[in-house]
Amino acid sequence: MHENSLLLGRLRGPVKLLMILSIAFTLALYAYLVGLRIFDNESSYGMFEMIRPEGRTLVQWTLGALSVAVMFASLFLADTKGAIEINPDGFFDLVSVILGRVAMIMTGFIVLVMFYEVVSRYVFSKPTLWANELSLWLGSFVFLLAGLYAMQQRSHIRIYIIYDMMPRWAQKLSDCISVLLIVAFTFALVWGGYTDAENRFLRMETFGTAWDPPIPGTIKPALLIIVVLVCLQAVSNLIADWNKAPESHTPADEIDEVEIENIRRTLEGKK
């Protein structure tokens, strides 16, 4: 059971149990909030209050339980390697994979939010004030975390036409130059944006709409933090790949053999 574990080992079972319990507790709190909304509208909480938890114990517990559930789910999902994923190698790889799983979970939340909005708008003629902004908020984090995950998986855009013709020493030199450019960009971005990000975060700057979520106050600091993580991941990749043998790249590298095999089996099953 633990042979295929990438991170947790013997802790895989306890983490799975904690994930299930935290998800169940979160759903129970959410069901209670929905019940209050239906049967006791005066003391209920809506999405406006969910982003303003100060003094609202039930809201704080719900948000805390949701955060814990996402944390344990991310750890559990990161413990298994996907069919086309690269094996994580080292601490920074594991951090990137875990945060990549967070991005995957957020994508699921976006689907649920938009589904709710479509049903509310077109079935009950009651559009929400928050669905579009919440999906935008979550999508921003997905975009940032996906960049970190892509760096760890080496799946970002790279042009190999000239690179593959170079001797290995020249390839290493090119890799060093690329990483130095990433480090320089990260330094410039943090140097120029730190004060603005700090000010936005400290005053928790809001979006200025009816729902008024703190999108600027959270996204700007997250941008700097995740760019630093991308930079560290790039350095980690350089170190991990330094002594690897040269690779040749062809258009066939883009073919997902696992996906083709799944499609083939599906088509055979329909015959």
- The predicted-structure confidence for 31-80, as pLDDT tens digits, reads as follows 988 888 777 767 778 888 888 888 788 889 999 999 999 999 999 999 88
* Distance of alpha carbon 100 from alpha carbon 226, whole angstroms: 12
Question: 233 in a domain, yes or no?
Answer: no
Secondary structure string (H, E, C) spanning the chain: CCCCCCCCHHHHHHHHHHHHHHHHHHHHHHHHHHHHHHHCHHHCCCHHHHCCCCCCHHHHHHHHHHHHHHHHHHHHHHCCCCCCCCCCCCHHHHHHHHHHHHHHHHHHHHHHHHHHHHHHHHCCCCCCCCHHHHHHHHHHHHHHHHHHHHHHHCCCCCCCCCHHHCCHHHHHHHHHHHHHHHHHHHHHHHHHHHHHHHHHHHCCCCCCCCCCCCHHHHHHHHHHHHHHHHHHHHHHHHHHHCCCCCCCCCHHHHCCHHHHHHHHHHHHHCC
pTM for the whole structure? 0.85
Instruction: Indicate the average pLDDT of the chain.
Output: 88
Contacts of 109 (CB under 8 A, 6+ apart): 138
Identify the domain containing residue 24 by its residue range: 1-80
Question: What integer is the mean pLDDT of 228-235?
Answer: 96
Question: 48 in a domain, yes or no?
Answer: yes
Question: 128 in a domain, yes or no?
Answer: no
Band (pLDDT 50/70/90 cuts) for residue 1 is very low
Question: 8 in a domain, yes or no?
Answer: yes
Half-sphere exposure of 57 (CA within 13 A, CB side): 0
* Distance of alpha carbon 148 from alpha carbon 74, whole angstroms: 15
Question: 47 in a domain, yes or no?
Answer: yes
Question: 170 in a domain, yes or no?
Answer: no
Question: 117 in a domain, yes or no?
Answer: no
The 10 Å Cβ neighbour count of residue 151 is 21
Question: What integer is the mean pLDDT of 181-200?
Answer: 96
* Distance of alpha carbon 65 from alpha carbon 57, whole angstroms: 12
Contact of 127 with 120, CB cutoff 8 Å: yes
**Counted domains in the chain:** 1
pLDDT at 62: 92
Question: What integer is the mean pLDDT of 209-218?
Answer: 92
pLDDT at 101: 95
* Distance of alpha carbon 219 from alpha carbon 136, whole angstroms: 11
- The predicted-structure confidence for 124-179, as pLDDT tens digits, reads as follows 888 888 999 999 999 999 999 999 999 998 887 777 788 888 888 898 999 999 99
pLDDT at 250: 66
- Tally the residues of the chain: 271
Question: 223 in a domain, yes or no?
Answer: no
